[in-house]
Amino acid sequence: MNKKPKHVAIIMDGNGRWAKKQGKNRFIGHQKGAKVVKDIVEEATKNEINFLTLFAFSTDNWSRPKDEINLLMKLLVGSLKKEFNRIFDNNIRLCSVGNLNTLPDIVKEELLFVIEKTKTNTGMVLTLALNYGGKEEIIDAIKAISNKVKNSIISPEKVDESTIIEHLYTRNLPPVDLLIRTSGEERISNFLLWHIAYAELYFTKTLWPDFKKKDLREALLNYSKRERRFGKTSEQLIT
Ligand code: IPE
Ligand code: IPE
Ligand code: MG
């Protein structure tokens, strides 16, 4: 494969529908979905993806029934505990984007623990988007920049792309090369708005709990055949 994405982001969607199809509770879908995360992280590492960013819980997901939210949070803590050794041994560095302040303490603590323990790992950067919203991220960046302008730390004329990037939660991430969404929905749902400006989009009907290692390889293969032009003509890319 000649073209490998440096940064892959995934909207892991379809857990609820997967469970419903089998007459089961949505939570069973989330449980299976969490197992799939483990396999996909493993496959991404094997394919030498540098950055993998997973949409785990959006700011809008707080509107779901309380029971489902509680179960999702418990599942997250359980997965972090269970997978910590594997994450560490695979030299993966765990990061998070989103507003951690309003997450339950137990989630915050476990997450910060793994982030701290893996901060010097040099392999794949695995970022969990948790309580994340793309618009909120941009609003927070604008607030921070406005404050600096107000205090004469930045002059308004100097505000450019890099100023914005430096104030995003995702400041340490490169642009997304490949954005995958499972479950057949073809929308962004407020994910990584800034960083997907030139991402290649890949939608698959496969529900997240059914997404296999080979499905990730297929997405990577599809990506490798695309021509990214960034506004240029095809001819310009050859020279
Ligand atoms: C994605 O699956 C997981 C989260 C959003 C946390 P969904 O729970 O959205 O599954 P569907 O879309 O209802 O099938
Ligand atoms: C996006 O999925 C959020 C996550 C995968 C965490 P949703 O299921 O919440 O998105 P919509 O509501 O279908 O747009
Ligand atoms: Mg969904």
Residue 131 · residue 103 · CB < 8 Å:
yes
Q: What is the pTM of this model?
A: 0.97
Q: Answer whether 16 contacts ligand 1 (Cβ < 6 A).
A: yes
Closest of 116, 109, 55 to residue 88, by C-alpha: 116
The amino acid at residue 204 is T
- What is the per-residue pLDDT for 238? 81
Q: How far, in Å, is the centroid of ligand 2 from the Cα of 65?
A: 14
The span from the CA of 95 to the CA of 112, in Å, is: 9
Active site annotation includes 140:
no
The span from the CA of 13 to the CA of 185, in Å, is: 8
Q: Answer whether 15 contacts ligand 1 (Cβ < 6 A).
A: yes
- Please state the separation of Cα 216 from the chain's center in Å: 15
Of 13, 15, 177, 215, catalytic: 13
Which atom of ligand 2 is found nearest the CA of 61?
Answer: 9
Bridge partners for 151 per DSSP:
none
Length of the chain equals 239
Q: Which ligand is nearest to the CA of 56?
A: 2
Q: Which ligand is nearest to the CA of 26?
A: 1
- What is the per-residue pLDDT for 1? 47
Within the chain, which residues score under 70 in pLDDT?
Answer: 1-2, 239
Closest of 105, 185, 91 to residue 202, by C-alpha: 185
Active site annotation includes 13:
yes
- 7-133+175-238 CATH pick, 3.40.1180.10, 1.10.3720.10, 3.40.50.10420, 3.20.20.100: 3.40.1180.10
The span from the CA of 109 to the CA of 107, in Å, is: 5
Q: Answer whether 133 contacts ligand 1 (Cβ < 6 A).
A: no
CB atoms within 10 A of CB 53: 26
